[in-house]
Structure 1
Amino acid sequence: MSIKKITVMAASLTLGAGIAANAGGYTPPVVEPIIAPIEEPVLDWAGGYAGATLGYGFGGKDRIGISDSTDTLLGDIGELEMDGANAGIRAGYRWQRDKWVFGPELGWEITDIKGDTSGMIGGTEYGAESKVKNVLALRFKTGYAVRPDMLVYGIAGWARADVDYDIAGEDVGYDTDGYILGLGVEKKINERTSITGEYEYANFGKETLEFGEYSTKATVDYNNLKVGVNFSF
């Protein structure tokens, strides 16, 4: 057999073996690599902090009624609509369980939340003014880290307000206890500094105030929008 024939036969056998291998042979499957999802770590919110706030109170309403010495209502002179700016300082401590963050906060605010009204009762004109001078509050905040650097939280707490009340030219200022409810969000801008935005509702109940032989029932409440900054330590 010539070399040429041997070469042709070898090439034919090689081609046939290749076709057979592709037609009936085993082709191993291609396995895609499994990549585990990367979870973002929750930043550490635990520990002490201190900060400051600026806010604006609005929507406060206090209807002024005048009663005599027998507590008989003589009439209303109008409604105080209270609003004004406020500024405060605060300090607190937080604990953290996974994404849940909670703890107490003590705050003190000076305010210019005030209103005035006047009206006639029995031919006599009466005027009334009310101003919330300062508020001391103990709040408890419970939050959830919706992102590693962002906390959303609820607010509930006790508050004591120093209120300057003037009616018919007589100063009948008083201190009163109340409650605060609200919502807030806090965003870290670095490891130790964060900024906050909060909405609160403050209600200081009903207080009977006497001026001469007359009396009125003060019902101070207001809404408050605040921005602030916290420094962790």
Structure 2
Amino acid sequence: MKSTFKMARTSMMAAPLIAVAGMASAGGLSEPVAAPTPVPVAPAPVPVAPISDWTGFYAGGQLGFGQLDSDDLTEDPDGLLYGVHGGYLYDLGSWIIGGELDIDGTEIEDETADVALDSVARAKLRVGYDAGNWLPYVTGGIAQASTSGAVDGEDTGSFGGLGVEYRISDSMRVGGEVLQHQFEDFDGTGIDIDATTATARVSFQF
């Protein structure tokens, strides 16, 4: 009787162990799976703005329109003008300075007074602001005008104005310029002449 009781008690104690072993073998109890370690992602590179540099020699051409204003002329003649220019700019960072020489031929003539403006040559100082691909600037200097007809001569005066350029590429830029000229007592004739010009410009840097 005691043997039977011991066997029954042993069977009751072993039953849970057998059940656990069966569950483990059936996949009821699985080993814990470690979570994958996240892979660090490098931050995207910060875009760098292109460095603007206007320093260098340049040359090009211009085409535009001009008008004379004088109390000594019978009218205020106007007409086409065309020319070439060349110069050098130096980029200081925010500000740009430079010098330029240019010359325009013109089709401006007062037929009644028989006075024609043949050409205008200029020596310029330019001061501008570096706005990336844009360059607004002021300019001024000395101008020499040549006339023919009833007033046949040359005279030196002054001029000032505004301009702007836009850089299309490292070697090419386009722009526009408006200048106001003054010639007092032109070539000793007692005639005072003002001239306004507006031109579109194309320049190549090298």
- Asked if TM exceeds 0.5, the reply is yes
Give 5+ residue unaligned stretches, structure 1: 1-34, 65-77, 118-127, 167-171, 210-215
Match of 1:222?
Answer: 195
Q: Compute the displacement of 1:136 (Å).
A: 1.4
Classify 1:101/1:208 alpha carbon distance in 2 versus 1 (closer, same or farther; 3 Å): closer
Mapping 1:1-233, distance limit 5 Å: 40-58=49-67, 60-64=68-72, 79-117=74-112, 128-146=113-131, 148-166=132-150, 172-207=151-186, 217-233=190-206
Q: Compute the displacement of 1:142 (Å).
A: 0.5
Match of 2:6?
Answer: none
> How far, CA to CA, are the matches of 1:196 and 1:48 in structure 2?
16
> How far, CA to CA, are the matches of 1:108 and 1:180 in structure 2?
13
Larger radius of gyration: 2
> How far, CA to CA, are the matches of 1:42 and 1:113 in structure 2?
43
* Residues 153, 187 of structure 2: 8 Å contact kept: no
Identity %: 29
Match of 2:15?
Answer: none
Q: Compute the displacement of 1:190 (Å).
A: 0.9
Q: Compute the displacement of 1:226 (Å).
A: 0.4
TM-score (norm 2): 0.73
Larger fraction in strand? 1
Q: Compute the displacement of 1:202 (Å).
A: 1.1
TM-score (norm 1): 0.65
Give 5+ residue unaligned stretches, structure 2: 1-43
3-state SS of 2:52 partner: coil
